[in-house]
Amino acid sequence: MSDFVLPVDKPVGPTSHDVVARARRALGEKRVGHTGTLDPFASGLLLLCVGRATRLAEFLSGLDKTYIADVMLDAFTDTDDRTGQRITETDAWRSIDEARVRAALAHFTGTISQVPPAYSAKKVQGERSYRAARRGEELELQPVQVTIHGLRLLHYEPPLVRVEVDCSSGTYIRALARDIGAFLGTGGYLLELRRTRVGEVGVERAVTLEQLEDRDAVSGHAMRPLEALRHIPRVDVDAVTVDRLRHGQRVPIEQPVEEGTVAVASDNELIAVATMKDGVLHPRKVFSEA
């Protein structure tokens, strides 16, 4: 299997790009990419797209995610996480009880407006925000809408709060930690972060960095393209339709399928990703070879 999606459990330390580079060497494949960055201090699930499966990245990067986050309420930092400088320290957390913490978590559940961290890759007037922040300059970052599907308290040992976060893609957990602290009137920054789920894939499905060298381990954990797209509606087609899609033709489909992006399959293999509109398949990316 040369084209697949591989779940990898990134440890604390390396960047997401480091993991991609190691996978390229271990797998002997130049075409490797990830579908969502994790900061070096964070650990957990990265989905690597290998071979022609790199063309699937855009359909995976927007999936919901789950994190386990340790939030400290005794300070703010300039990066909103433990790697930054402590800019405000406080003992206000000593007066915060568990009930108030739970109320704060409830406040941030749902669709919320979130200002990205100053040290982020967000662009303002064409420049990455973190570059300006490193120069000591402040850029005015605009709030974005994100959705917190679930925010559960796992452990409370003041000033530490451990939470599990189910959220939409694009959510900054660092910003969430900062905002929880601000809402409580304490400090707030991210101490530890672990991504445990991307879409329907859990970190328990992942290989370690060391297992990238083990062909059997990689084969046992890899997902075929069709499996990786199981969150997208599936359309099964016959050989005639396959041939037409291979040539980039639009194909009418009689079976009832909701409009939008669909995974087109034949013999349990991904043939194409297409757009279903008015009962017609419009191929976007074809994976089946003639």
What is the set of active-site residues?
Answer: 39
Residue type at 179 in one-letter notation: D
Structural tokens at position 114 = 């979130």
Phi-psi region of 170 (alpha: psi -120 to 50; beta: other; left: phi over 0): left
Report how far residue 114's alpha carbon sits from residue 117's, in angstroms, rounded to the nearest whole number: 9
Q: In Å, how far are 40, 185, 276 from 251, measured between CA atoms?
A: 46, 59, 10
Structural tokens at position 46 = 């990265």
SS3 per residue for 29-66: CCCEEECCCCCCCCEEEEEEEEHHHHHHHHHHCCCCEE
Q: In Å, how far are 20, 37, 202 from 17, measured between CA atoms?
A: 5, 8, 21
Label residue 116 exposed, middle or buried (CB < 10 Å: 0-12, 13-18, 19+): buried
Structural tokens at position 253 = 């489909």
Q: What angle do CA 92, 96, 99 make, to 5 degrees?
A: 160
Report how far residue 201's alpha carbon sits from residue 203's, in angstroms, rounded to the nearest whole number: 7
Give the position of tokens 């961290």: 117
Structural tokens at position 87 = 């800019």
